[in-house]
Amino acid sequence: MKDFLTKALFLPILVFSVAGCTIALTCEMFNASGHEIKLTRKGLNGNATTQIVPIGSSVRMDYWARSNVTISGRDFEWVFSPGDPGVEFVKTIGFGPWAARLIKVQLDESGRIFVLKPNQSFPAIEFPAQPDGFPLLPVGSKRGPIP
């Protein structure tokens, strides 16, 4: 009987605990800067990860709004403090524990990061009205002028 009660209570507890969790924000960034860039972020474990993004390519980053992003190129190294643009820019993919909130952003040649609507394709020629905090501008520079 005890084993049955444990099993019978496990599923509802699991469902309610997952349903109460906030789904992390994943970002797909398109490089329209005119330069190959290097994205560096500290993960939740504190270790830095680096991704190389060629011109005209995109890369996905999990936990977008949790830590600063350093974007560097040949003549610059900028630090951005990402934010959540709001629900109208977010597409939810998957469901339950496999769900993800996805936003699309584009780094332009001036060093600004614009958020796109979920149905827009890369590269964007026109950008929608930007929410508060967007386009993102560097909050610091380790090398080169801030745009």
Q: Considering the chain, what percentage of its residues have pLDDT values greater than 90?
A: 55
Domain span at residue 63 reads 23-143
Q: Is residue 38 part of a domain?
A: yes
Q: Give the pTM.
A: 0.80
Q: Is residue 131 part of a domain?
A: yes
Q: Is residue 130 part of a domain?
A: yes
Q: Which amino acid is located at 50 in the chain?
A: T
Q: Is residue 43 part of a domain?
A: yes
Q: Is residue 109 part of a domain?
A: yes
DSSP conformation class of 128: P
Q: Which residue has the tokens 């960034």?
A: 29
Q: Is residue 6 part of a domain?
A: no
| CATH classification of the domain holding 29 | 2.60.40
Confidence of residue 1 (pLDDT cuts 50, 70, 90): low
What is the total count of domains within the chain?
1
Smallest CA-to-CA distance from 78 within 26, 43, 37, 123 is with 37
DSSP conformation class of 66: G
The overall average pLDDT reported for the chain is: 84
Q: Is residue 10 part of a domain?
A: no
Q: Is residue 90 part of a domain?
A: yes
Of residues 144 and 35, more confidence is placed in 35
- ω before 131 within 30° of 0 (cis)? no
Query: Has residue 122 got a pLDDT over 60?
Result: yes
Of residues 129 and 6, more confidence is placed in 129
